[in-house]
Amino acid sequence: MPASIESLQFNGLSALALNTPDGSRAIVSLSGAQVLSWTPARDDERLYLSPDAVYDGSVAVRGGVPVCFPQFAGLGKLPKHGLVRTQPWTIAEQRAGKDYALVTLRITENDESFAVWPQQFTAELTVVIEDGRLNIELELENTGHAPFAFTAALHTYLRVREVENARLEGLHGYEYRDAADHDRIKRDSGDVLMIEDETDRVYHSVQRPLLLRDGGRSLGIHSEGFPDVVVWNPWEHRCAEMSDIPANGFRHMLCVEAAAARHKIELDAGENWVGRQSLIVL
């Protein structure tokens, strides 16, 4: 049986389910082009999705892989994390082969986005599952007549069994901005990153793959085009302030995000930019 793509409703959201013959499955919402679930073959769910997430479109769904564009976090005058997380995207392509499934979703500027960010653009998000791997690619094109600049991220929520036991490897020696400590610039000196308190870091110019060890499971994390890596866990006190995540939700999630956050990316008219994140079961 070849791979397949099916339309479905996910908590009231129109979505697509990508399936491969080995039993891998991913669910992508047309609202925000957000990957909501990824279950590799013979494995457990690898993305965290809050059981208290809101699906009415008033806010982004808490979990999965929200798309941040044209602004990451509050680093600018636009709404936090940009303008496309709760917008409807359209299907540009869907394709299923012998052992892979692929979907590309697209959004362009609209009256709502133009009112706060008067730029013309096309954004496409391509999701591919195959052979224990989830690939997400964000392509942005300046379709206007003047340059614009942006920041962006794939805000990936990874599911972990117990965050205090998780180990993130590959960030040794990199400089980072610590938003949990008054935006101080620091340098990572540990062999592994362990989460023991609120963590909100933007690592700069990361050039090596990362490895997340979660008990007996390991996940490779690789990005291209995105120069930065964001590592975020709200911990107990921040988690308690959020209405769309359980009080203990922080224990089962760790955001490891592919990002362009430190410096804005500039696109001239007619130019495009591509950033990717790959998650690989090891």
DSSP assigned state of 163: G
- pLDDT at residue 2, rounded to an integer: 86
pLDDT of residue 168: 98
CA distances from 163 to 131, 156, 196, 258 (A): 26, 15, 8, 19
Return the residue matching tokens 């500027």: 109
pLDDT in tens, 156-176: 999 999 999 999 999 999 999
What pLDDT, on the 0 to 100 scale, is given for residue 273?
Answer: 98
CATH number at residue 53: 2.70.98.10
pTM value is 0.97
What is the overall mean pLDDT for the chain? 97
Q: Helices marked H in the chain — which ranges?
A: 111-116, 235-240
Give the pLDDT score at 1. Answer: 74
Share of the chain above pLDDT 90, in %: 97
Copy the structure tokens of residue 11: 């908590």
How far apart are the C-alpha atoms of 269 and 271, rounded to whole Å? 6
User: Per residue in 175-220, pLDDT tens?
Assistant: 999 999 999 999 999 999 999 999 999 999 999 999 999 999 999 9
Q: If you write DSSP's letter for every residue of 214-246 in order, what string do you get?
A: ETTEEEEEEEES--EEEEEE-HHHHHHT-TTS-
Q: Is the pLDDT of residue 75 over 90?
A: no
Contact of 29 with 127, CB cutoff 8 Å: no
Residue 67 CA to residue 64 CA, distance in Å, equals 10
Confidence (pLDDT) at 47: 98
Task: Give the angle subtended at the CA of 42 by the CAs of 41 and 45, to the nearest 5°.
Answer: 75
Compute the average pLDDT of residues 1-15.
95
Q: State how beta strands 101-108 and 90-96 pair.
A: antiparallel
**pLDDT tens digits for 83-142?**
999 999 999 999 999 999 999 999 999 999 999 999 999 999 999 999 999 999 999 999
| % of the chain at pLDDT higher than 70 | 100
Rounded (to 5) percent helix, strand, coil in the chain: 10, 50, 40
Cα separation, 130 vs 282, in Å, equals 14
Pairing between β-strand 184-187 and β-strand 175-178 as defined by DSSP bridges: antiparallel
Is the pLDDT at 233 greater than 80, yes or no? yes
Collapsed DSSP state (helix, strand, coil) of residue 111: helix
Coil, strand or helix at 70: coil
User: Phi/psi of residue 192, each to 5°?
Assistant: -135, 155
Give the model confidence (pLDDT) of 22-33 as tens digits: 999 999 999 999
Q: In angstroms, what is the C-alpha Rg of the chain? A: 18
The residue type found at 6 is E
Burial bucket for residue 139 (CB in 10 Å: 0-12, 13-18, 19+): middle
* Eight-state DSSP code of residue 113: H
Total number of domains constituting the chain: 1
Largest CA distance in the chain: 54
3-state secondary structure of 116: helix
Give the range of the structural domain holding residue 20, as residue numbers without chain letter. Answer: 4-281
